[in-house]
Amino acid sequence: MALPKIATKFDGAVQKSSQERQITELQAEVERLRTQKSPSLESELEKLRQELQNQSGENEIDVSLIDPNPNQPRQTITEESIQAKARLLKKHGQISPVILVPQDNGRYMLLDGQLRTAAAKVLGWKTIRALVVPMPEDLDSSALQTFLGFEDLNPLDKAEAIAREITKSTMLTADEANTMLATVLKRIERDGKSKELTKLVAVSASEQLSGLEELGVIGNQQDILLLLLELGLNPTSVKANLMPMLGLPEDLKVAIRSLGLKGAHALALTTLSAKALGISEEEATRERVRATEQVLKNNLTVPETRELIKQVKANYLKSEKIESKKVKAVIHLVRELSHESLATVGVEQLQELRSLLVEKLTEIDQLARF
């Protein structure tokens, strides 16, 4: 199956570098005419300004005409992040233009610049500086490529965007693709070829294809790995750190999107499941929520989070401790100690037995918390 070449998605949007000389010449001509200070030249100046704007590709666009991309990777945008961006725009101005694609109804769809556009609305801006580009051949792939490098794109949003792209490109379900990815990676690891796969991230598309063929990866497995490699992603890292995000319970997804819970912490907390604790789903959710609140309130590290989880599990798993044959035998022997049998034992031995039983009773009380 031929996959879209994401590297060419922005060919229409990234023409600016090749136009720098022409833009510089136009700017120089504007300044030359301006220095002449002749009113009769104003119309010529306006023509040059328009040509300069067209060459740079940037325009002032009415913010009310801009619509979000409903399938954009960043599905999490908090009021705090909008306000923070608004403060930066107010202080420094708009440093870089947003990227828009035109729609048939005279409106525009955001390809890049969700936070900047939202912040501009907060500030009451009527227009925003934008680079208007032709509709990419594959809008979702282009948006994904744009967002993947953003440090503030949380792992849940990233995982869902990648899963959508895999599903669209291969016609597999997310579960099928995840299983297929795990299978091929396990086989490559078993063959001792994991390093060869990782090296393919930094090579050309043709080298990636031939490299996968050398690794014996074909069919849908090849399609999945090619897509991840083309996005600049290490497939092993995607499998270990991103795909598990898709299976998180809803309370942890909400915590990631609304409260800033980190992905590694969420993966640890998901082990507080109903099955693991031997309780109902409702009770397990309450335990996870309480644990999540502690993690966020105390800014716990991942190891500290795992220790907290261990403590929570200990409260539920005591009753599941195995029955000891040795203790069972001792109980049987103690029951055998009748009054008649004890009456034949010397005082010294009885005192030793009593001291030992008292000591063990204290230990039992501590363990059972009587």
Residue 20's SS3 state is helix
Which pLDDT tens digit goes with each residue over 94-141?
Answer: 877 888 888 888 898 887 788 888 889 989 999 998 888 776 555 545
pLDDT at res. 359: 84
Q: Would you say residue 348 has pLDDT above 60?
A: yes
Q: Worst-scoring range by mean pLDDT, 293-307, 319-333, 337-351?
A: 319-333
Rounded to whole angstroms, the Cα distance separating 200 from 292 reads 38
Q: Which residue has the tokens 């220095």?
A: 35
What pLDDT, on a 0 to 100 scale, did the predictor assign at position 76? Answer: 63
* 18, burial (CB in 10 Å: exposed 0-12, middle 13-18, buried 19+): exposed
Express each pLDDT in 282-301 by its tens digit.
Answer: 999 999 999 999 999 999 99
Instruction: Please report the pLDDT score of residue 56 as a whole number.
Output: 47
pTM (predicted TM-score): 0.49
What is the tens place of the pLDDT at every residue in 248-269? 999 999 898 888 898 899 999 9
Residue 216 pLDDT level (bands cut at 50, 70, 90): very high
- The structure tokens listed for 83 are 């306000």
